[in-house]
Amino acid sequence: MIIVTRPNVTDAELDNIRERIETLGMRTHLSRGEHRTIIGCIGDETLLHEAALLSIAGVESVHPVLKPYKLASHEFSNGPSIVRVGDSAEVGGRALAIIAGPCSVEGRDMLRETARSVAASGAGMLRGGAFKPRSSPYAFQGLGEAGLKMLAEVRAETGLPIVTEVMDTRQVEMVAEYADVLQIGARNMQNFSLLSEVGRVQRPVLLKRGMSATIKEFLMAAEYVMAQGNRDVILCERGIRTYETATRNTLDIAAIPVLKAETHLPVMVDPSHAGGRVDLVAPLSFAAIAAGADGLVVEVHPTPETALSDGDQSLTLQNFEKLMRQIRPFAEAAGRTVAGPRTGLRVEAA
């Protein structure tokens, strides 16, 4: 249920409306706009039927929300959300957000080299997995906390906020101590206890779409995080599994405008895991930007041929620099901007 207030509603009236709803056993969520304030009511709507909501001072109209996701829906928000990351980055604004870095943190030197280079090419955030969800238990599983420490060190040197995956509820507290953005991987998109756990920490969440998840399931996963109080969710389309084997996954381009129509949350695209091939990263990036994506998550490695994971889809430092130049006309056509090299940052002096 959404309650829209009168334009001149007072703070006392707002408090009173919320109190009336909350005493009925529902939770409220306030979204203040320039002209109207929206109060979202979350919980069992049948409780509200007796409440004569329209008679409460300050209430202008009352609307049921028929979608299963509430906090993620447009009705609960006054326009598109911008998720702020650290004190230098944001996702959902006019500038495209670019997250770049290796699939896995493999060592301090390779991470530092990658971070400096991608920052100089215009990336706004550094990615790198310390805990890796690998199909084989015998494959490289990531450096764990040592990898998180390296990410934090490189952030201190370059100023780049860090994005890294958390795979397990038991790791959330530790990963949140180091990371600026908590990544939930495709394989964990419906790990409901993990979603709730990251919902309880105040760190933006990069939620990747499950490889067999519908858009509705994807948004319900976001709702799990938001329902615990963490509203800073960034959605990431990373390709879904289809019958096609020429590509690692099939990038669901239509998901971008469909998500934009359904939710106020920002939508990023990961062309690396979608295509699984270096030669597809640029064309998929162009298509994503043209379709309205708020940014890209790109795997970059100094020597992809030696990468411990996902070398086939990782761009070299030079090819990432080229990609950043190539996306400019697509960004401009879509009404977006692309950050230039991060001049003036500590990266320059390092």
Which range, of 65-73, 109-117, 185-193, 221-229, touches ligand PEP by CB under 6 A? 185-193
110 binds Mn ion (CB under 5 A): no
Long-range contact list for 276-283, CB < 8 A, 24+ apart?
A: 276/239, 276/247, 276/248, 276/249, 276/312, 276/313, 277/247, 277/248, 277/312, 277/313, 278/304, 278/312, 278/313, 278/314, 278/315, 278/319, 280/247, 281/313, 281/315, 281/319, 281/323, 282/323, 282/326, 282/327
Site string for ligand PEP, 222-251 (x = CB under 6 A): ----------------x-------------
186 binds, options ligand PEP, Mn ion, none, Cβ within 5 to 8 A by partner type: ligand PEP
165 binds Mn ion (CB under 5 A): no
> In sequence order, what are the beta bridge partners of 129?
104
Show the CA angle centred on residue 253, arms to residues 293 and 211, nearest 5°: 105
Site string for Mn ion, 60-99 (x = CB under 5 A): ----------------------------------------
Q: How far apart are CA 308 and CA 297, in angstroms?
A: 19
70 binds, options ligand PEP, Mn ion, none, Cβ within 5 to 8 A by partner type: none
Closest residue to ligand PEP: CB criterion: 185
Query: How remote is the C-alpha of 213 from its chain's centroid?
Result: 16
What is the smallest separation between the CB atom of 267 and Mn ion, expressed in angstroms? 19
106 binds Mn ion (CB under 5 A): no
276 binds ligand PEP (CB under 6 A): no
What is the smallest separation between the CB atom of 129 and ligand PEP, expressed in angstroms? 5
Region 308-327 residues binding Mn ion, contact defined as CB under 5 A: 310
Site string for ligand PEP, 81-120 (x = CB under 6 A): ----------------------x-----------------
Structure tokens given for 247: 């590509």
Could you give the angle at which helices 317-326 and 108-121 cross, rounded to 10 degrees? Answer: 20
What is the smallest separation between the CB atom of 309 and Mn ion, expressed in angstroms? 6
Q: Dihedral sign, CA of 9, 13, 14, 18?
A: negative
Can you give the binding site for Mn ion, defined by CB under 5 A? 103, 310
Task: Point out which residues bind ligand PEP (CB under 6 A).
Answer: 103, 129, 133, 185-187, 208, 238, 270, 273
